[in-house]
Amino acid sequence: MNVLLLGSGGREHALAWKLVQSDAVSQLFCAPGNPGMATLLKTTCLPATGVNDFEAVLACVRDHAIDFVVVGPEEPLANGIADVLNAAGCLVFGPSRVAAQLEGSKAFAKAFMARHKIPTASYAEFYDADAALMHLDAVGAPIVIKADGLAAGKGVTVAMDLETARDAVNRIMRDREFGEAGAAVVIEEFMVGEEASIFALSDGGHYQILASCQDHKAAREGDTGPNTGGMGAYSPAPVVTPELMARIEAEVIAPTIRGMAAEGTPYRGVLYAGMMIAATGPRVVEFNCRFGDPETQVVLPRLKNDLLPLLLACAKGTLDRHEVRFDDTHCVTVVMASAGYPGSYAKGKAITGIDAAHEAGLYVFHAGTRFENEQLVTAGGRVLNVTGQGKDLEATLAQIYAGMAHIHFEGGWCRKDIAHRALARLKA
Protein backbone atom coordinates (compact mmCIF):
# COMPACT_ATOMS: atom_id res chain seq x y z
CA MET A 1 0.00 0.00 0.00
CA ASN A 2 1.27 3.48 -0.90
CA VAL A 3 0.62 5.95 1.92
CA LEU A 4 0.81 9.76 1.83
CA LEU A 5 1.51 11.56 5.12
CA LEU A 6 0.84 15.30 5.19
CA GLY A 7 3.00 17.43 7.48
CA SER A 8 6.57 18.27 8.38
CA GLY A 9 6.97 18.45 12.17
CA GLY A 10 7.95 16.22 15.05
CA ARG A 11 4.47 14.72 15.22
CA GLU A 12 4.65 13.72 11.56
CA HIS A 13 8.18 12.34 11.95
CA ALA A 14 6.87 10.11 14.77
CA LEU A 15 3.88 9.03 12.65
CA ALA A 16 6.18 8.23 9.72
CA TRP A 17 8.61 6.31 11.97
CA LYS A 18 5.73 4.16 13.22
CA LEU A 19 4.02 3.72 9.84
CA VAL A 20 7.12 2.42 8.02
CA GLN A 21 7.37 -0.37 10.58
CA SER A 22 4.24 -1.86 8.96
CA ASP A 23 4.83 -4.61 6.43
CA ALA A 24 1.70 -3.37 4.64
CA VAL A 25 3.37 -0.05 3.74
CA SER A 26 5.06 -0.41 0.35
CA GLN A 27 6.10 3.23 0.12
CA LEU A 28 5.52 6.22 2.37
CA PHE A 29 5.41 9.64 0.75
CA CYS A 30 5.71 12.64 3.08
CA ALA A 31 4.52 16.06 1.94
CA PRO A 32 6.44 18.18 2.53
CA GLY A 33 8.31 16.03 5.09
CA ASN A 34 11.56 16.95 6.83
CA PRO A 35 15.21 15.80 6.89
CA GLY A 36 14.54 13.28 9.66
CA MET A 37 11.65 11.69 7.80
CA ALA A 38 13.80 11.48 4.67
CA THR A 39 16.19 9.06 6.43
CA LEU A 40 13.47 6.47 7.09
CA LEU A 41 13.30 3.28 5.03
CA LYS A 42 10.63 3.15 2.30
CA THR A 43 10.16 6.93 2.60
CA THR A 44 10.22 9.70 -0.01
CA CYS A 45 9.76 13.37 0.88
CA LEU A 46 7.96 15.72 -1.50
CA PRO A 47 9.11 19.16 -0.30
CA ALA A 48 7.28 21.03 -3.08
CA THR A 49 3.85 19.86 -1.87
CA GLY A 50 2.27 22.08 0.79
CA VAL A 51 -0.37 20.69 3.14
CA ASN A 52 -2.81 23.50 2.31
CA ASP A 53 -2.39 23.25 -1.47
CA PHE A 54 -5.25 20.86 -2.06
CA GLU A 55 -4.73 20.69 -5.84
CA ALA A 56 -1.10 19.73 -5.29
CA VAL A 57 -2.15 17.07 -2.76
CA LEU A 58 -4.65 15.61 -5.24
CA ALA A 59 -1.98 15.61 -7.93
CA CYS A 60 0.36 13.79 -5.55
CA VAL A 61 -2.33 11.18 -4.90
CA ARG A 62 -2.70 10.61 -8.64
CA ASP A 63 0.98 10.73 -9.55
CA HIS A 64 2.12 8.31 -6.85
CA ALA A 65 -0.87 5.93 -6.87
CA ILE A 66 -1.65 6.74 -3.23
CA ASP A 67 -4.01 4.32 -1.50
CA PHE A 68 -4.37 6.11 1.83
CA VAL A 69 -3.71 9.63 3.14
CA VAL A 70 -2.84 10.42 6.78
CA VAL A 71 -3.25 14.09 7.71
CA GLY A 72 -0.94 15.34 10.46
CA PRO A 73 -1.62 19.06 11.14
CA GLU A 74 -4.91 20.74 12.03
CA GLU A 75 -5.06 23.54 9.46
CA PRO A 76 -5.75 21.42 6.35
CA LEU A 77 -8.35 19.44 8.32
CA ALA A 78 -10.12 22.62 9.40
CA ASN A 79 -10.01 23.75 5.77
CA GLY A 80 -11.64 20.53 4.51
CA ILE A 81 -8.84 18.38 3.10
CA ALA A 82 -10.60 15.18 4.24
CA ASP A 83 -13.75 16.18 2.36
CA VAL A 84 -11.75 16.92 -0.79
CA LEU A 85 -9.90 13.59 -0.67
CA ASN A 86 -13.06 11.62 0.09
CA ALA A 87 -14.80 13.27 -2.85
CA ALA A 88 -11.90 12.16 -5.05
CA GLY A 89 -12.37 8.56 -3.86
CA CYS A 90 -9.28 8.43 -1.66
CA LEU A 91 -9.29 6.93 1.82
CA VAL A 92 -8.17 9.48 4.41
CA PHE A 93 -7.42 9.50 8.13
CA GLY A 94 -8.81 12.73 9.57
CA PRO A 95 -12.18 14.35 10.33
CA SER A 96 -14.34 16.32 7.93
CA ARG A 97 -14.23 20.12 7.91
CA VAL A 98 -17.42 20.31 9.99
CA ALA A 99 -16.21 17.75 12.54
CA ALA A 100 -12.81 19.50 12.75
CA GLN A 101 -14.61 22.55 14.15
CA LEU A 102 -14.11 20.90 17.54
CA GLU A 103 -10.63 22.40 17.24
CA GLY A 104 -11.18 25.01 14.56
CA SER A 105 -13.66 27.02 16.63
CA LYS A 106 -13.48 27.28 20.41
CA ALA A 107 -17.04 28.65 20.42
CA PHE A 108 -18.30 25.65 18.43
CA ALA A 109 -16.61 23.23 20.82
CA LYS A 110 -17.93 24.94 23.94
CA ALA A 111 -21.50 25.02 22.59
CA PHE A 112 -21.23 21.34 21.61
CA MET A 113 -20.06 20.42 25.11
CA ALA A 114 -22.91 22.41 26.64
CA ARG A 115 -25.46 20.58 24.47
CA HIS A 116 -24.10 17.18 25.41
CA LYS A 117 -23.36 17.92 29.08
CA ILE A 118 -19.64 17.29 28.74
CA PRO A 119 -17.77 18.78 31.74
CA THR A 120 -15.75 21.90 30.91
CA ALA A 121 -15.13 25.43 32.18
CA SER A 122 -17.94 27.97 32.11
CA TYR A 123 -17.48 30.50 29.30
CA ALA A 124 -18.74 33.41 27.25
CA GLU A 125 -17.98 34.23 23.62
CA PHE A 126 -17.54 37.69 22.13
CA TYR A 127 -17.32 39.15 18.64
CA ASP A 128 -16.78 42.71 19.88
CA ALA A 129 -13.67 43.79 21.81
CA ASP A 130 -15.50 46.39 23.92
CA ALA A 131 -18.05 43.80 25.05
CA ALA A 132 -15.25 41.37 25.90
CA LEU A 133 -13.45 44.01 27.97
CA MET A 134 -16.64 44.89 29.84
CA HIS A 135 -17.11 41.20 30.65
CA LEU A 136 -13.57 41.03 32.02
CA ASP A 137 -14.26 43.97 34.32
CA ALA A 138 -17.36 42.16 35.58
CA VAL A 139 -15.80 38.73 36.22
CA GLY A 140 -12.24 39.67 37.22
CA ALA A 141 -9.14 37.49 37.21
CA PRO A 142 -7.69 34.88 37.07
CA ILE A 143 -9.33 34.18 33.73
CA VAL A 144 -8.51 32.44 30.43
CA ILE A 145 -8.65 34.21 27.05
CA LYS A 146 -8.75 32.14 23.84
CA ALA A 147 -8.75 33.17 20.21
CA ASP A 148 -11.72 31.38 18.66
CA GLY A 149 -9.89 30.01 15.63
CA LEU A 150 -6.64 28.19 14.94
CA ALA A 151 -3.56 29.98 16.29
CA ALA A 152 -0.84 27.30 16.12
CA GLY A 153 -1.22 26.54 19.82
CA LYS A 154 -0.43 30.13 20.81
CA GLY A 155 -3.89 31.73 21.01
CA VAL A 156 -4.49 31.04 24.70
CA THR A 157 -3.61 33.40 27.56
CA VAL A 158 -3.97 32.35 31.18
CA ALA A 159 -4.30 35.77 32.79
CA MET A 160 -3.67 36.03 36.53
CA ASP A 161 -4.59 39.74 36.53
CA LEU A 162 -6.95 42.01 34.62
CA GLU A 163 -4.17 43.95 32.89
CA THR A 164 -2.89 40.76 31.26
CA ALA A 165 -6.42 39.71 30.35
CA ARG A 166 -7.27 43.04 28.75
CA ASP A 167 -3.98 43.02 26.83
CA ALA A 168 -4.80 39.53 25.49
CA VAL A 169 -8.21 40.65 24.22
CA ASN A 170 -6.69 43.69 22.52
CA ARG A 171 -3.90 41.68 20.91
CA ILE A 172 -6.34 39.07 19.61
CA MET A 173 -9.30 41.21 18.56
CA ARG A 174 -7.85 44.65 17.78
CA ASP A 175 -4.25 43.96 16.77
CA ARG A 176 -5.28 40.67 15.08
CA GLU A 177 -2.12 38.97 16.25
CA PHE A 178 -3.56 35.69 14.98
CA GLY A 179 -5.36 37.07 11.94
CA GLU A 180 -8.93 35.90 11.36
CA ALA A 181 -8.57 33.39 14.20
CA GLY A 182 -9.08 36.43 16.44
CA ALA A 183 -12.42 37.56 14.96
CA ALA A 184 -13.95 36.22 18.17
CA VAL A 185 -12.71 35.30 21.63
CA VAL A 186 -13.85 32.81 24.20
CA ILE A 187 -13.38 33.91 27.81
CA GLU A 188 -13.32 30.98 30.21
CA GLU A 189 -13.36 30.27 33.90
CA PHE A 190 -9.86 29.63 35.26
CA MET A 191 -9.65 25.94 36.23
CA VAL A 192 -7.37 24.66 38.97
CA GLY A 193 -5.80 21.23 38.65
CA GLU A 194 -3.32 19.16 36.67
CA GLU A 195 -3.57 18.80 32.90
CA ALA A 196 -3.37 15.54 30.96
CA SER A 197 -3.93 14.57 27.33
CA ILE A 198 -6.11 11.72 26.10
CA PHE A 199 -6.22 10.55 22.48
CA ALA A 200 -9.05 8.42 21.11
CA LEU A 201 -9.22 6.88 17.65
CA SER A 202 -12.72 6.96 16.14
CA ASP A 203 -14.41 5.64 12.99
CA GLY A 204 -17.50 7.73 13.57
CA GLY A 205 -19.35 5.15 15.65
CA HIS A 206 -16.69 3.24 17.57
CA TYR A 207 -13.62 4.43 19.42
CA GLN A 208 -10.41 3.15 20.99
CA ILE A 209 -8.69 5.15 23.73
CA LEU A 210 -4.90 5.41 23.56
CA ALA A 211 -2.40 5.66 26.42
CA SER A 212 -2.50 8.73 28.66
CA CYS A 213 0.16 11.40 28.37
CA GLN A 214 1.03 14.83 29.70
CA ASP A 215 2.92 17.71 28.10
CA HIS A 216 4.62 20.84 29.38
CA LYS A 217 3.21 23.97 27.73
CA ALA A 218 5.13 26.55 29.78
CA ALA A 219 8.54 27.58 28.48
CA ARG A 220 10.54 27.42 31.70
CA GLU A 221 11.29 25.11 34.61
CA GLY A 222 8.60 24.77 37.24
CA ASP A 223 5.93 25.29 34.55
CA THR A 224 6.59 29.02 34.46
CA GLY A 225 6.97 31.50 31.61
CA PRO A 226 4.90 31.97 28.46
CA ASN A 227 2.93 29.18 26.80
CA THR A 228 4.60 27.32 23.94
CA GLY A 229 3.56 24.57 21.57
CA GLY A 230 4.97 22.15 24.14
CA MET A 231 8.48 21.79 25.64
CA GLY A 232 8.26 18.07 26.36
CA ALA A 233 5.88 15.23 27.16
CA TYR A 234 5.69 11.83 28.79
CA SER A 235 3.49 8.74 28.79
CA PRO A 236 1.84 7.34 30.80
CA ALA A 237 0.61 10.23 32.97
CA PRO A 238 0.38 8.90 36.55
CA VAL A 239 -2.34 11.44 37.38
CA VAL A 240 -4.66 9.49 35.05
CA THR A 241 -5.48 6.48 37.20
CA PRO A 242 -7.59 3.61 35.79
CA GLU A 243 -10.57 4.98 37.70
CA LEU A 244 -10.04 8.46 36.26
CA MET A 245 -9.62 7.08 32.74
CA ALA A 246 -12.96 5.31 33.10
CA ARG A 247 -14.58 8.63 34.03
CA ILE A 248 -12.95 10.42 31.09
CA GLU A 249 -14.26 7.73 28.76
CA ALA A 250 -17.79 7.83 30.19
CA GLU A 251 -18.09 11.60 30.64
CA VAL A 252 -16.04 12.94 27.71
CA ILE A 253 -14.97 10.52 24.95
CA ALA A 254 -18.15 8.43 24.60
CA PRO A 255 -20.60 11.39 24.65
CA THR A 256 -18.44 13.31 22.18
CA ILE A 257 -18.36 10.49 19.63
CA ARG A 258 -22.09 9.78 20.18
CA GLY A 259 -22.96 13.48 20.02
CA MET A 260 -21.07 14.14 16.80
CA ALA A 261 -22.77 11.16 15.15
CA ALA A 262 -26.21 12.22 16.44
CA GLU A 263 -25.73 15.70 14.96
CA GLY A 264 -24.95 14.23 11.53
CA THR A 265 -21.22 15.00 11.66
CA PRO A 266 -19.59 11.67 12.61
CA TYR A 267 -16.06 12.11 13.88
CA ARG A 268 -13.47 9.99 12.04
CA GLY A 269 -9.82 10.30 12.97
CA VAL A 270 -8.13 11.00 16.26
CA LEU A 271 -9.85 13.06 18.93
CA TYR A 272 -7.46 14.80 21.31
CA ALA A 273 -9.05 15.76 24.62
CA GLY A 274 -6.95 18.11 26.72
CA MET A 275 -8.17 17.48 30.26
CA MET A 276 -7.94 19.36 33.54
CA ILE A 277 -7.88 16.95 36.45
CA ALA A 278 -9.55 18.92 39.24
CA ALA A 279 -10.64 17.94 42.74
CA THR A 280 -14.18 17.44 41.44
CA GLY A 281 -13.10 15.29 38.52
CA PRO A 282 -12.02 15.63 34.87
CA ARG A 283 -13.04 18.65 32.77
CA VAL A 284 -12.22 19.41 29.14
CA VAL A 285 -9.75 22.23 28.52
CA GLU A 286 -9.92 21.88 24.73
CA PHE A 287 -10.45 19.45 21.90
CA ASN A 288 -8.00 19.01 19.02
CA CYS A 289 -8.79 17.24 15.75
CA ARG A 290 -5.33 15.65 15.29
CA PHE A 291 -2.57 13.96 17.22
CA GLY A 292 -0.88 16.24 19.74
CA ASP A 293 2.64 17.54 19.37
CA PRO A 294 4.84 16.56 21.23
CA GLU A 295 2.50 13.98 22.85
CA THR A 296 2.46 11.76 19.75
CA GLN A 297 6.21 11.32 20.14
CA VAL A 298 5.70 9.55 23.49
CA VAL A 299 2.47 7.64 22.80
CA LEU A 300 3.42 5.92 19.53
CA PRO A 301 6.68 4.34 20.79
CA ARG A 302 4.60 2.55 23.46
CA LEU A 303 1.98 1.28 20.96
CA LYS A 304 2.37 -2.46 20.36
CA ASN A 305 -0.05 -2.53 17.42
CA ASP A 306 0.81 -1.98 13.80
CA LEU A 307 -0.39 1.63 13.37
CA LEU A 308 -1.56 1.39 9.75
CA PRO A 309 -4.51 -1.02 10.29
CA LEU A 310 -5.79 1.16 13.13
CA LEU A 311 -5.77 4.32 11.02
CA LEU A 312 -7.33 2.48 8.07
CA ALA A 313 -10.08 1.14 10.33
CA CYS A 314 -10.97 4.70 11.31
CA ALA A 315 -11.42 5.57 7.63
CA LYS A 316 -13.34 2.38 6.80
CA GLY A 317 -15.64 2.25 9.85
CA THR A 318 -14.19 -1.03 11.17
CA LEU A 319 -12.44 0.09 14.35
CA ASP A 320 -14.56 -2.29 16.45
CA ARG A 321 -12.51 -5.15 14.99
CA HIS A 322 -9.35 -3.87 16.68
CA GLU A 323 -8.07 -3.42 20.21
CA VAL A 324 -5.13 -1.15 20.98
CA ARG A 325 -2.33 -2.46 23.16
CA PHE A 326 0.49 -0.58 24.89
CA ASP A 327 3.66 -1.75 26.62
CA ASP A 328 4.43 -0.94 30.25
CA THR A 329 7.40 1.37 29.62
CA HIS A 330 7.78 5.08 30.31
CA CYS A 331 8.40 7.23 27.25
CA VAL A 332 9.61 10.84 27.47
CA THR A 333 10.46 13.48 24.88
CA VAL A 334 12.37 16.71 25.57
CA VAL A 335 12.21 19.58 23.10
CA MET A 336 15.39 21.34 22.02
CA ALA A 337 14.38 24.87 21.05
CA SER A 338 15.91 27.87 19.31
CA ALA A 339 17.14 30.85 21.32
CA GLY A 340 14.26 33.29 21.76
CA TYR A 341 11.45 30.75 21.37
CA PRO A 342 8.46 31.15 21.90
CA GLY A 343 9.21 34.71 20.78
CA SER A 344 11.26 35.64 17.72
CA TYR A 345 14.23 33.44 16.89
CA ALA A 346 16.92 33.08 14.24
CA LYS A 347 17.04 30.17 11.79
CA GLY A 348 19.89 28.52 9.93
CA LYS A 349 22.00 27.45 12.92
CA ALA A 350 24.12 24.34 12.19
CA ILE A 351 23.05 21.19 14.07
CA THR A 352 25.53 18.49 15.08
CA GLY A 353 25.53 15.38 17.28
CA ILE A 354 22.25 13.68 16.34
CA ASP A 355 23.99 10.45 15.33
CA ALA A 356 25.68 10.32 18.75
CA ALA A 357 22.28 10.67 20.44
CA HIS A 358 20.97 7.78 18.33
CA GLU A 359 23.96 5.70 19.39
CA ALA A 360 23.04 6.49 23.01
CA GLY A 361 19.74 4.66 22.44
CA LEU A 362 17.49 7.68 21.83
CA TYR A 363 15.03 8.57 19.08
CA VAL A 364 15.45 12.07 17.68
CA PHE A 365 12.35 13.36 15.90
CA HIS A 366 12.90 16.45 13.72
CA ALA A 367 10.46 19.27 14.47
CA GLY A 368 12.04 22.30 12.79
CA THR A 369 15.05 21.44 10.62
CA ARG A 370 16.15 21.75 6.99
CA PHE A 371 19.22 21.16 4.86
CA GLU A 372 21.16 24.23 3.78
CA ASN A 373 24.30 23.72 1.64
CA GLU A 374 24.31 20.04 2.70
CA GLN A 375 24.34 21.03 6.38
CA LEU A 376 21.44 20.24 8.75
CA VAL A 377 20.29 23.55 10.26
CA THR A 378 17.51 24.92 12.43
CA ALA A 379 14.29 25.99 10.72
CA GLY A 380 11.83 26.50 13.56
CA GLY A 381 11.32 27.42 17.19
CA ARG A 382 11.00 23.82 18.35
CA VAL A 383 13.89 22.11 16.56
CA LEU A 384 14.24 18.53 17.84
CA ASN A 385 12.30 16.11 20.05
CA VAL A 386 14.84 13.96 21.89
CA THR A 387 12.98 10.84 23.03
CA GLY A 388 13.78 7.91 25.30
CA GLN A 389 11.93 4.87 26.57
CA GLY A 390 12.47 2.48 29.46
CA LYS A 391 11.00 0.63 32.41
CA ASP A 392 12.25 3.19 34.94
CA LEU A 393 11.24 6.83 34.51
CA GLU A 394 14.16 8.34 36.41
CA ALA A 395 16.72 6.27 34.48
CA THR A 396 15.01 7.14 31.19
CA LEU A 397 15.21 10.85 31.96
CA ALA A 398 18.89 10.54 32.88
CA GLN A 399 19.56 8.75 29.57
CA ILE A 400 17.77 11.48 27.59
CA TYR A 401 19.56 14.42 29.18
CA ALA A 402 22.94 12.64 28.87
CA GLY A 403 22.27 11.93 25.20
CA MET A 404 21.17 15.50 24.55
CA ALA A 405 24.61 16.69 25.62
CA HIS A 406 25.89 15.35 22.28
CA ILE A 407 23.55 17.58 20.26
CA HIS A 408 24.51 21.18 19.61
CA PHE A 409 23.26 24.21 17.74
CA GLU A 410 23.93 27.84 18.63
CA GLY A 411 21.54 29.07 21.31
CA GLY A 412 19.82 25.70 21.67
CA TRP A 413 18.08 25.12 24.99
CA CYS A 414 15.60 22.85 26.73
CA ARG A 415 13.68 22.52 29.97
CA LYS A 416 15.61 20.46 32.51
CA ASP A 417 12.58 19.29 34.52
CA ILE A 418 10.40 17.42 32.03
CA ALA A 419 8.17 14.83 33.76
CA HIS A 420 8.72 16.41 37.19
CA ARG A 421 5.07 15.84 38.16
CA ALA A 422 5.26 12.17 37.18
CA LEU A 423 8.48 11.69 39.14
CA ALA A 424 6.95 13.26 42.23
CA ARG A 425 3.84 11.07 42.01
CA LEU A 426 5.80 7.88 41.44
CA LYS A 427 8.14 8.63 44.35
CA ALA A 428 5.16 9.42 46.59
Q: What is the DSSP letter of 89?
A: T
Mean pLDDT of the chain: 96
pLDDT at position 25: 98
In the chain, what's the furthest Cα-to-Cα distance? Answer: 60
237-289: pLDDT as tens digits: 999 999 999 999 999 999 999 999 999 999 999 999 999 998 889 999 999 99
Residue 34 has pLDDT above 80, yes or no: yes
Overall average pLDDT of the 31-51 stretch:
96
The reported pTM is: 0.96
Domains of the chain, CATH where assigned: 2-94 (3.40.50.20), 128-183 (3.30.1490.20), 194-321 (3.30.470.20), 330-427 (3.90.600.10)
Q: What is the DSSP letter of 328?
A: S
Residue 152 has pLDDT above 90, yes or no: no
pLDDT at position 97: 98
84-99: pLDDT as tens digits: 999 999 999 999 999 9
Other C-beta atoms lying within 10 Å of the C-beta of residue 179: 11
pLDDT at position 285: 95
Query: pLDDT grade, residue 155 (50/70/90)?
Result: confident
Cα dihedral across residues 343, 100, 195, 398: positive or negative:
negative
Instruction: Tell me what percent of the residues of the chain surpass a pLDDT of 90.
Output: 95
pLDDT at position 428: 82
351-361: pLDDT as tens digits: 999 999 999 99
Report CA-CA distances (Å) from 95 to 2, 39, 101, 202, 262. 21, 29, 9, 9, 15
